Structure 1
């Protein structure tokens, strides 16, 4: 047997019903790369149609790809695939977490873990290389993720990585997370572990992840090239957000925040980010001072450092010293990034006591809220949870649906005063057993339970994308039709930054359009912000490429908050990136010489498999009308303006139907229904998938 490199070659299967633990060959999934691709195939093949998320027959697939654990830049993500309780069809989704769990899984000797069945009482899974056991978790049940992690680390050692659920997962809330390393969370599947009575997985290993023979020197050269010439800051922003002597361009929206006089102020001694011009790979980790981006200027003096996931030079996670948290019974430290800071702020529907949206009260609130959300294992549904609360509270609907005794027991005075203490009330009631906790059902089930009307679904600022129960994620405001097409393809928020990383890179629109022409065939693939044009075939190519690269990153696995590298900060390269980097790293890791086009073809296979799994679970081929729907607010925003008028993100209904048709054509899917044809499945090596769908009468 040929030596396996990049991958490990093993898949661990843990059956919680029978207690059986087996190891299988993971290389049968090689053509699906790993991660999401592997997860989709397992769910498609092994979970019966009509299974619901919390059923014992559902499975959870934790999987990574051939780049995980190799030290490829930004390769620390872990993909989790299962049916989702949030949407009405319990259709397949994948959630993602950073931290160390994925690399640790590879070091223990596994490309994937399949969790199946359900334990009769609480358990946790202990993995130490090839020694795997199911342990009693009775003493852990009811604890948050922090105490659970500490307890298991006390058993396994501090180097073990622990992925756990909190109280939200135990209570099988739809919006529950799986959290590793205390603050790296994967949203949407925590309740499934709760239904299986699985509290946590602890993992540690001593194996190496091997590169293909004689590729080590080439790997180091490729890594040096990427770090010196290509990589930017968080979200692949490639210009600083302030004017600097070395920079030809700057953009105030850029996450490249480093500048002279900006510090990690709570470090001992304080660390100045300083100027970080391209070419100095040792300063890449100083470019993104994310604390001030997420929390405002007051965060500078409280920032200990920027941390991040395994093998990530970007370091987008803010580690904060916040002694104010001790007032609430917590340690004086907080660590998080992005949505986990903004979500608590959104729940402060009356603002903050000091009146400052980026002031000290706001920072205390966001740090406190992020700590509680991670500890309880609550998923914000990409910020939709606090928007749902805001809608319910401001409309008076919450007072209407909550029993009077429950409503009166909640200290809404804290909310009205803008007191950070509202976070304790808010999160404690979310994990409680009252009616308030049904905010964690997610939009679809919440709307069913509380008879929400069209005003809930159609309100522009509420961000609800569809009755599949997820919010927009860089949609019509991000690349016009391209952003919309990205958003319709998934069964949860798109969680795709491929198109947005390019659009928001910070470069002038003229230069971005030049690069768009080189990558997708015409500058017309990209519109200027709020200056949109009708649909064209190049936008369809841009959209397909963005979707496919997202599936690729979740399978190979790479961080889609940074990858792909379409642009670079290098003036000598005329700001061009290198879209073939994924294939170059893949080739060196696996020893399988693979071109960019070949790897994109594999990504298309994974995307089409996701479509097939969705069709199977929804039991329909009419994806155009049943799945790929677009919210009314895309067409109704700015009522006094017409689509394709400068200054609006409004789009045209007929034009978006054309956009769908053009995307389907790019994929070779049936243009009437949006379902893949047998010919397409077979072209992609998915004949067995087509055969099963034909037996279910689900081929167009």
Structure 2
């Protein structure tokens, strides 16, 4: 499979320890990514297999553009059986960051994980050299410490996809993290945990074959100048600007004169007006911290970052020194729902500290750091909507044992105290008490707690 493909499938059997190489050309008609993953699952996983059975598999699959430099092409599709839906459907997670490109650079289109290790292991991939290593010393650690330790043992260039305590404890709403805060959810963390696989580390130094480099460059330039917008492909700015006929305050094309990366190293950097056509300034368009969290985020924003070969740069990087008071790093980054969902559970909003709306900033940075380190997955905010519903409708008082209900600091929740988030996420990741079943997923709690038809109407809002 020349041009776009390495032609290789890496198959790792955790039960036997066998690591083999196969030809990926037999899957050429399935294009890549999801197509590869679903074909392999349907061919190789027997009917009736449950998510945590040894017979279940994890399929990491790239696409033909991965690693080529094509805009927005650094995604890896992770296919397995669902941990959180009725019937254990075949599902897939989509993980950004740098993992997909490193897979391709190492020489693999697909990685198939099968079987179950007798004790914790991590998979070490450096081009053609592949080995299973003991991971007992990593078990119990979060994704951040796991990544740091593996990079210390291998190389700073290594990309590590790791699970945290949530995956180890088989929490259905768990995922894996690579490049610190790029997640693949859909229960894949629990699948890795069930197989005693703590992490996959990959570093590739090979190239990617391109059939026609000039045509590739022409198409890349066309995408960058004519097609690429801001996050979610918004193509008009959020404020009136000299170059634009239209504007929309709901657009994520947030850059404008007078808007700065306020905490940038070396001093604030102005985003300015970013009209279409200039490839060198595309990365300034999307300013997700301000879009998600409001104007107060400006002075704490270091920069916008993103995935390999993606010009949209939708990953907010922030530094809020006060966050250290809660035992997590003052820096952190994320995008989309994970940026703002953590404080939505407070019925009266988060409590501010010194400045207006800084409680929302601090609460969400604490929340996303903990969430990512534990390897939890919010199911696009549904986990937090479920919490809000159950609290507002008195479900917790009905279903939680009296002792557990009494020990939870509901007064902190009402006061918008960030410490409630810390306790809540710890319970979810470590499966502490009845409350932790929130992370089993919506269908599971609806059945377990007899939520009825009213709940499903609320969940769709």
What TM bracket, shorter-length normalisation? over 0.9
More strand by share: 2
Q: How far, CA to CA, are the matches of 1:190 and 1:341 in structure 2?
A: 20
Matches of residues 392-411 of structure 1 in structure 2 within 5 Å? 392-411=390-409
Aligned residue pairs, count: 458
Q: Is the 8 A contact 1:356 1:362 kept in 2?
A: no
**Gap regions ≥5 residues in structure 2:** none
Structure 2 equivalent of residue 206 of structure 1: 205
Q: How far, CA to CA, are the matches of 1:435 and 1:229 in structure 2?
A: 52
Q: Is the 8 A contact 2:159 2:179 kept in 1?
A: yes
Structure 2 equivalent of residue 148 of structure 1: 146
Matches of residues 361-380 of structure 1 in structure 2 within 5 Å? 361-380=359-378
Q: Is the 8 A contact 2:289 2:339 kept in 1?
A: no
Q: How far, CA to CA, are the matches of 1:256 and 1:458 in structure 2?
A: 33
2:98 to 100, 105, 108: 100
1:264 and 2:264 aligned: no
**What is the CA-CA distance between 1:409 and the residue it aligns to?**
1.8
Q: Is the 8 A contact 1:351 1:357 kept in 2?
A: no
Q: How far, CA to CA, are the matches of 1:201 and 1:463 in structure 2?
A: 36
**What is the CA-CA distance between 1:355 and the residue it aligns to?**
11
User: What is the TM-score normalised by the length of structure 1?
Assistant: 0.64
Matches of residues 179-218 of structure 1 in structure 2 within 5 Å? 179-188=177-186, 189-212=188-211, 215-218=212-215
Q: How far, CA to CA, are the matches of 1:453 and 1:350 in structure 2?
A: 26
Q: How far, CA to CA, are the matches of 1:357 and 1:294 in structure 2?
A: 17
2:236 to 211, 217, 239: 239
CA RMSD of aligned residues (A): 1.5
Structure 2 equivalent of residue 121 of structure 1: 119
Q: Is the 8 A contact 2:329 2:369 kept in 1?
A: no
1:353 and 2:351 aligned: yes
Q: Is the 8 A contact 1:53 1:83 kept in 2?
A: yes
Q: How far, CA to CA, are the matches of 1:424 and 1:83 in structure 2?
A: 30
Runs of 4+ in structure 1 deviating by more than 6 angstroms, as ranges, are: 355-358
CA deviation map 1:517-543 (0-9, x unaligned): xxxxxxxxxxxxxxxxxxxxxxxxxxx
1:224 to 206, 221, 242: 221
Q: How far, CA to CA, are the matches of 1:161 and 1:56 in structure 2?
A: 26
1:417 to 415, 418, 431: 415
Matches of residues 531-610 of structure 1 in structure 2 within 5 Å? none
Structure 1 equivalent of residue 451 of structure 2: 452
User: What is the TM-score normalised by the length of structure 2?
Assistant: 0.97
**Gap regions ≥5 residues in structure 1:** 465-700
Which has more radius of gyration?
1
CA deviation map 1:342-397 (0-9, x unaligned): 22122223312249998110111111111111000111011010111111111111
Q: Is the 8 A contact 2:173 2:439 kept in 1?
A: yes
* SS of alignment partner, residue 124 of structure 2: strand
* SS of alignment partner, residue 106 of structure 1: helix
Q: How far, CA to CA, are the matches of 1:349 and 1:98 in structure 2?
A: 33
Matches of residues 435-446 of structure 1 in structure 2 within 5 Å? 435-446=434-445
2:89 to 74, 88, 91: 91
More helix by share: 1
